Structures are given as C-alpha cells and as structure tokens.
Amino acid sequence: MQKQNIILPIQGVLGTLNPFKEKKKQRIMNYNPVTGPSTRRPAYCEKISVFDYDADTCEEITTQDDSAVFQYLDNSKVTWINIDGINKEMVHRISTRYNIHTLLEEDIMSIGQRAKMDEIGDYLFCLLPMVYFNEETSTIEQEQVSIVLGKHFLISFQEDAARDVFDNVRGKLRIRHSRIRSAGTDYLCYSLLDIIVDSYFTVIEKLGERIEQMEEWIQHQPNTRTLARINFLRRELLLLRRAIAPVRELINGFLKSESDLLDERTIKYFKDVYDHIIQANELTENYREMILTLQEQYHTQINIKMNEIMKVLAVVTTLMAPLTFVVGIYGMNFDNMPEIHTQNGYFFVLAAMLVMLIGMIIFFRKRGWF
C-alpha cells in the first residue's frame, strides 16, 4: 500500500502534464537578469509578525498595518519583523523608514532571482529560496525569502502567507533565556538560514523515495509511462539543484564578511550551515546520477524485452520454415508428382510435418534456446 501512495500522485501529475503548456520550468529556468525581474502579483494576504525581545522579555504581535512596526525602529532590543505577502507600496514604506537601499528594495520585489548575499551600507542582505514538496502532485514548490539584517533588527520578506518553516525559531524565541534570546540579530539570521537549509533535506528525502520506487517500476513495468515518470523526477530534481546550489555561495559570503553586524562567535554557526548546504548539494548530485542510472536501466530493460520478443519470433519462424517448405513443394501444380495420387498421402504429409515440428521443439529445448 505504501508503494501505491507514493507512485499514484506521480501518475496523476503525468496524466495532465503537457510540456507545451507547462510554465513552471520556463519561469524558473529562463529568468533573464538583463530584461529585469518579472512583475510580482499583488499579495492576496499580508500578515506582519513582530518579535521584539531580549534575554528577559519578549513581545510578540501580529498585524496587517505596517505602520505598527515603526515603533521598534530605535529600539535597543532585537526586533524580528516577518512580512508574509509582499506588496510594493508596503515594501517601499518599510524600506524608506528603515533606510534600506533602493537596489535591495528592487531585489525584494523581484521574483525568480538566484540566491545571493550583499553588503550595502549598514545592512547585510540575502535572498534565497524556501522549498516545499507537494505530496498531492509530487512537485517541488518554492518561494523567495529576502532577509535584511541591521544592527538591532532583522526584516524577512516571504511570498506565501500560508506556510513557512520558521515555527521552530518562533518556539525558541518564546523560551526565556534561550540562546537565541540571549544573542543578537546575527544569531537570529543564522537560525533562519539554518532552518531553511535543513528544510532542503526534507524535500530531497521525498525525491529520494520516489527515485527508489522508480527502480521497482522499471523492473516490472518498463514502458513509456515509466519513462515519463523518470523524466518528470529528473526535471524536478533539476529545478531543485538550480534553486539550492547558489545558497552555498550565499553562506560563504557571510563567512567572508567583515561586517560589524556579525559577531565573531557567530561565524562558527554559519560554518555549520555551510557544511549542511554542501551536503545537500552532494545529495542532489547523487540523486541526479541515480536518475541517469534509472534511465540506463530503463533502456536496458526495453532492450531485454525486445530481445525476448525477437527470440520468440525467431523460434516461431524457424519452426514454421520447414513446414512451409513441405507445403510449398506439394502445392506446385505439376501432373508428374507420384505422391499426389497416393491414397493416404495427405495424412502422411501431415504426420511428417507434425513429427518435424515436435522434433525441432525437443531439439531447441535441449539446446536451451527457449
């Protein structure tokens, strides 16, 4: 039953998959930085959550009014402002009040960008994908997360207001005197990056389960539908690799940064994230090789199946050849053929043909030809 639960969603996707109408791959793969970012649709739901904390106190609010966050602008505590659902006017107002550079504002509003890390003015900025695995369609979905790190604040921008992977960080912030509460904004930034990178492993694991199931399908059902499933997984893995591969350079940017916003004691935590993203990239590369192996196995199984068919056809043709020869001889219209006027010649010929057929079958079986 478990195998059916894993494979059937892929069947549902492939039943409606049309490569000429599929826009996901074109949207992700064909981003052209020269022409500028694509136009972002207005957010359907905007939610702003704020954690203003130190080691002893923590204030948590949720609002849809962006002006409510301005009261924390000159606060000596650490303030995490998380914005779900990006709206151009709202991003511009927050960027203006927090003196965020216009280039960073454009990056926040853009979509389909490559993960990167920048240092502009008194801020550190990073942009990376947050990926999810859709169990119903067996597809990888992603949203762009932008993080602006200041001296006493961190602002994160998310596209999807319905989901994220930050609940674990929120839970730690609610614990008094926890490590994250006692540290600065740089440790908060590390925590967000770490949990995003760790979520990559969950998606990779889901893809790995599908790939393992494909090995069984290739052995039992090496048909065009199985090949379509393999190509489908290959495309999803390609999109995942393209999304998370640049994150390695992003984390390396924090390691090489000499910004005063990063405490020297926090650098070791970024090194841990760096190790994780290297491992994630290695896993995706291993799975890519596995998919290539699956394609080779598929073609091998198809060749074996074709050889079996050709073997059966060759045996049938060989068995019928002498019988056809006998029938051809006695099918000639000559008067001077002594066997034609034999009283039981018809039955003798049939018996001889049957003996020949049985004898050839026994001979082929002893030789192991079928």
pLDDT of 36 over the 50 cut: no
Q: How confident is the model at residue 24 (pLDDT cuts 50, 70, 90)?
A: low
pLDDT of residue 135: 87
Amino acid at 121: G
The DSSP secondary structure of 29-57, one letter per residue, reads: HT--TTT-PPPPPPPS--EEEEEEE-SS-
pLDDT of residue 43: 54
CATH T-level fold of 307-367:
Methane Monooxygenase Hydroxylase; Chain G, domain 1 (1.20.58)
User: Do 2-301 and 307-367 show the same overall fold?
Assistant: no
Domain boundaries, the chain: 2-301, 307-367
Report the pLDDT averaged over residues 16-24: 44
**Which parts of the chain fold into alpha helices (H)?**
2-16, 24-29, 88-97, 102-109, 167-173, 179-182, 185-220, 224-244, 247-256, 267-329, 345-367
Q: Contact 226/214 with Cβ under 8 angstroms? A: yes
* Distance from C-alpha of 221 to C-alpha of 298, rounded to nearest angstrom: 9
Helix axes of 102-109 and 88-97: crossing angle, nearest 10 degrees = 150
Report the pLDDT averaged over residues 98-113: 89
Query: What tens digit of pLDDT does each residue of 123-153 get?
Result: 999 999 999 998 888 889 999 999 999 989 9
Query: What tens digit of pLDDT does each residue of 311-338 get?
Result: 778 888 888 888 888 788 777 777 777 7
* Distance from C-alpha of 301 to C-alpha of 281, rounded to nearest angstrom: 30
pLDDT of 53 over the 90 cut: yes
Q: How confident is the model at residue 360 (pLDDT cuts 50, 70, 90)?
A: confident
SS3 105: helix
Amino acid at 351: A
pLDDT of 3 over the 50 cut: no
pLDDT of residue 23: 52
Question: Where does 2-301 sit in CATH, by number?
Answer: 3.30.460.20
pLDDT of residue 21: 39
Q: Contact 194/273 with Cβ under 8 angstroms? A: yes
Nearest to 183 by CA among 72, 265, 253: 265
Nearest to 193 by CA among 147, 162, 239: 147
Neighbours of 64 (CB within 10 A): 12
pLDDT of residue 38: 52
Q: Enumerate residues 6+ apart whose C-beta is below 8 A from 118.
A: 103, 104, 107, 124, 125, 126
Handedness of CA 200, 204, 205, 210 (dihedral sign): positive
* Distance from C-alpha of 42 to C-alpha of 329, rounded to nearest angstrom: 85
Q: How confident is the model at residue 51 (pLDDT cuts 50, 70, 90)?
A: very high
pLDDT of 207 over the 80 cut: yes
Query: What tens digit of pLDDT does each residue of 234-292 get?
Result: 899 999 999 999 999 999 999 999 899 999 889 999 999 999 999 999 999 999 888 88
pLDDT of residue 370: 67
Report the pLDDT averaged over residues 204-214: 88
Report the pLDDT averaged over residues 296-301: 79
